Amino acid sequence: MRTAMIFSDELARFDYGKDHPFKPVRAQKTLELCERYNLLNTAENLVLPPDTASRDDLLCFHTPEYVEALERVDQGRFEPEMLAYGLGRDDNPLLPDLFRWCLGSVGGTLTALRLLGEGYQRTLHLLGGGHHAGPARAEGFCYVNDACIAILKALERGMDRIAYVDIDAHHGNGVQEAFYTEDKVLVVSLHETGKTLYPWGGFETELGEGKGRGYNVNLPLEPGTDDEVYEEAFERIVVPLLQTFQPQLVVAQIGADTLISDPLTHLRLTNNAYRAVVRKLVHAAPRLLALGGGGYDVYRTARCWTLAWCEMSGLEPEDHYAGLVGGMMFGPEMEMGSLHDRPFRSQGEAKEMARKEADRVCAFLEEHLFPLWSLG
């Protein structure tokens, strides 16, 4: 299997601001871990630079007025009407070289898509995954929706069975809205329930409309959901849907903010479940385009993404520095002496509520969604 990681040091150094939780440097930390564990630059697994997207690439999904507003930010201009586009708010501040960052982020995702047509089976772009952005709005740290742009480009190239699977803790609302009436794109999102977390939606009753009915699937999960509950829900709903749909391409947003240590969310996963779910996506995808997305515990996110790369590349980490003074690279590895977290299970009322709600959501989908797919 030929696998490529798309990486740009310039994009990884982009700074949202000292107090902003979104840190593109996570991609650099992931690359360092992959290098440390001998997971890169074999004959079949390469790190490649991104192409730069064009203005027209952004216009594939975003409105001309919105793209022009992004361009004006790079010119150092602020106009009050930018606030109507979500620009200049706390989650999406006005930043130097913002338009250049957007072109680079989308360019990396389109590079990953291009390589899938040139003999690569799996590609990873950690500086993409802007699943909240809409055609004329920035929100949730996302200025451009590179996932939507990639899917639209794939549709233009003749694909008619594309699965988008989102395991970020936040609902992928921008992607859902884009394809809510589309039957060529199966959109699946597992996330913390909108009752307790932004963007306050993504409920199981949102099944798509028109010809897209049955092609939009949400699994909202309660705070306290652990590895066991999460994996059971994924196996119960997502696996049979992917097996039935038989996608030509899977676009996966693999945000790592489901972790128990994440400061913005309330799920309680370890990277053991995270790796297991990525493994299932790899097995379900004839071609896989994976995007970074969220993850606000920087070093644990880097560990998650390193394990995701292991699954995509078919390699296992080899630590040539184990046992040496100064051998541990950083922070969380010291807990276990490896990339993996200690196993964890929620207890008591939190576990009971998480399991009860996951069972209810899965039962609803089995009753109202599965018949649309002739699943029993």
Model confidence pLDDT, tens digit, residues 29-64: 999 999 999 999 788 999 999 999 999 999 999 999
Contact at 8 Å (CB) between 259 and 167?
no
Please tell me what DSSP assigns to residue 125: E
How many Å apart are CA 328 and CA 351, to the nearest integer? 34
Count of domains in the chain? 1
Q: Has residue 323 got a pLDDT over 80?
A: no
Question: Under DSSP, is residue 286 helix (H, G, I), strand (E, B) or coil?
Answer: coil
Taking CA atoms, 220 is separated from 134, 254, 358, in Å, by 21, 16, 8
- pLDDT of 321: 61
- Convert the pLDDT of each residue in 242-300 to its tens digit: 999 999 999 999 999 999 999 999 999 999 999 999 999 999 999 999 999 999 999 99
Taking CA atoms, 329 is separated from 1, 115, 261, 300, in Å, by 29, 31, 19, 12
- pLDDT of 318: 83
Contact at 8 Å (CB) between 143 and 92?
yes
Question: Under DSSP, is residue 45 helix (H, G, I), strand (E, B) or coil?
Answer: strand
- Convert the pLDDT of each residue in 165-223 to its tens digit: 999 999 999 999 999 999 999 999 999 999 999 999 999 999 999 999 999 999 999 99
Percent of the chain with pLDDT over 90: 91
Per-chain mean pLDDT for the chain:
94
- Convert the pLDDT of each residue in 81-125 to its tens digit: 999 999 999 999 999 999 999 999 999 999 999 999 999 999 999
Burial category of 56 from C-beta neighbours within 10 Å (exposed 0-12, middle 13-18, buried 19 and up):
exposed
- Convert the pLDDT of each residue in 116-158 to its tens digit: 999 999 999 999 999 999 999 999 999 999 999 999 999 999 9
Residues designated catalytic:
132
- pLDDT of 220: 98
pLDDT band at 328 (very low <50, low <70, confident <90, very high): very low
Q: What is the CATH number of the domain that holds 49?
A: 3.40.800.20
- pLDDT of 41: 74
- pLDDT of 324: 45
What Rg value do the Cα atoms of the chain yield, rounded?
20
Q: Has residue 325 got a pLDDT over 50?
A: no
Torsion of CA 186, 250, 254, 282, to 10 degrees: 130
- Convert the pLDDT of each residue in 351-361 to its tens digit: 999 999 999 99
- pLDDT of 320: 62
- pLDDT of 43: 84
Percent of the chain with pLDDT over 70: 95
CA neighbor of 142 nearest in space, from 176, 172, 97: 172
Whole domain around residue 189: which residue ranges?
Answer: 3-373
Pairing of strands 162-166, 216-221: unpaired
